[in-house]
Amino acid sequence: MGEPRRVVVTGVGAVTPLGMDVPSMWSGLLSGRSAIGRIQAFDSTGFPVQIAAEVPAREIEAHFRLPKLRKYADRKVLMAVRSAEEALAHAGFGPEGLDPEGHGTRRNMPDPERFGVSVGTESGRPLLEEVARTYYGYRDHLAAGGTALDRLRQVDPLDFVSTTPHLTSTLLAITVGAQGPNFTCSTACTSSAQALGEAALAIRRGQADVMLAGGTDALVEAFMVTGFALLGALSARNDEPERASRPFDRDRDGFVLGEGAGFMVLEALDHALERGAPILGELVGYGCSSNAYRITDSPPDGRGAFQSMRWAIQDAGLTPSHIGYVNAHGTSTQMNDASETAGIKLALGEHAARCPVSSTKSVMGHLVASCGVVESIICLMTIREGVIPPTMNYDNPDPLCDLDYVPNVARAAHVDYAMTNSFGFGGSNGSLIFGRYTGKGAA
């Protein structure tokens, strides 16, 4: 067998609380503009947590241009389609040939059988109000002499379809005509990082030439906010939302729930060169692991995080000193930030003290299943633009978090390799390394 194929990035797209595309996100990050505010999705009066980082509903609806899919789509699907369209257009695979309803044949698309989709997300969840309405309606139905079977016959089958975790990857494959590998990764906050890594492996193995890979999540609703709040995971700084997410700061009190989506077009280098695609960078390393510790807590010694970073560095054929920037998982919880700091020290050794680390969750919250791909795009932008986004609200150093967190102001830096970390509830860990591409076809 020959050498594994190199995997490059030819397109990126993102929908985040900072804006509906990658340029809006990037400018917001560099300026330190917070997208965190009082919850708009529901009336949070009386809730212990009343803040989040949301994508305005009107923006999502305004940018969704495929009405024929609307009956299947919740917020996370709508955001996924929007960010995927941006990534495909960026890569030169456009919607040309489609009418406003999404009918027609796309032009300039890859060979369908060599084109796949990989998505990190979670199952659809009915809103709290819908759960209550269903429960009380069912109870009243039985009280009136009805049967469970009669009630089930009244259920819209699309309600079932819309909760399946692979719905997003299915709809994207239908939308873009991708008949190749189709993956859904559902490992909480690690989901989209693993979706990118598994997509890259499919290309390396020769099973696909192009993979549309990323993730999406939308958890800002009453049930999920309440659940995370009861776990003690969320910041309750309701009176100063823009200062609530403070990764690695001594006074951090939890993460801020966010939402969004991001996608990358990953492509085999030879395929990208053959079609003359602009190459934005290279995905050079992927590692994943499990803490095998607790459901909600990270091990204090950072061993799970260390394992995923170590595998990613080895997979890339690099040494720790090659890493010029780490985009941290950096949730702003006491245990996660300390554990990740310990893991970075183990993985990078002496180089850890010299390597800039920042958490962009400080301004756009925790995007949960989609954080891995969005933060991968940030790594790519850091390499290309020569600027490291800051960790905002870092005011009071924590003795357990003693690395260079690029506090409060963006920093100019030449970075050839950037690593991003994603760590999920349940103990899953994923690390990805992106590198500067300087060969033929470099954008």
- 63 tagged catalytic: no
Q: Is the dihedral of CA 239, 241, 246, 247 positive or negative?
A: positive
Helix axes of 371-385 and 22-31: crossing angle, nearest 10 degrees = 70
The H-assigned helical ranges of 2-127 are 22-31, 57-63, 75-90
Tokens coding 59: 């923006």
Which of 90, 185, 189, 371 is flagged as catalytic? Answer: 189
The answer to whether 42 and 222 are in contact (CB under 8 A) is yes
Neighbour tally for 2: CB within 10 Å = 5
Query: What is the rounded CA–CA span in Å between residue 344 and residue 305?
Result: 7
The count of C-alpha atoms lying within 13 angstroms of the C-alpha of 336, restricted to the half-sphere facing its C-beta, is: 29
> CA separation (Å) from 229 to 49, 226, 234, 272, 423?
7, 5, 5, 46, 19
CA distance between the termini of the chain = 31
Q: Among 271, 284, 283, which Cα is nearest to 92's?
A: 271
The answer to whether 36 and 239 are in contact (CB under 8 A) is no
Which of 288, 366, 379, 401 is flagged as catalytic? Answer: 366
In eight-state DSSP terms, residue 260 is E
Would you call 382 helix, strand, or coil by DSSP? helix
The answer to whether 352 and 345 are in contact (CB under 8 A) is yes
CA angle, 379 as apex, 378 and 380 as ends, to 5°? Answer: 90
Beta-bridge partners for 282? 8, 435
Query: What is the rounded CA–CA span in Å between residue 173 and residue 168?
Result: 9
- 329 tagged catalytic: yes
In eight-state DSSP terms, residue 207 is S
Which of 90, 271, 322, 329 is flagged as catalytic? Answer: 329
Residue 204 one-letter amino acid = R
- 189 tagged catalytic: yes
The catalytic site residues sit at: 189, 329, 366
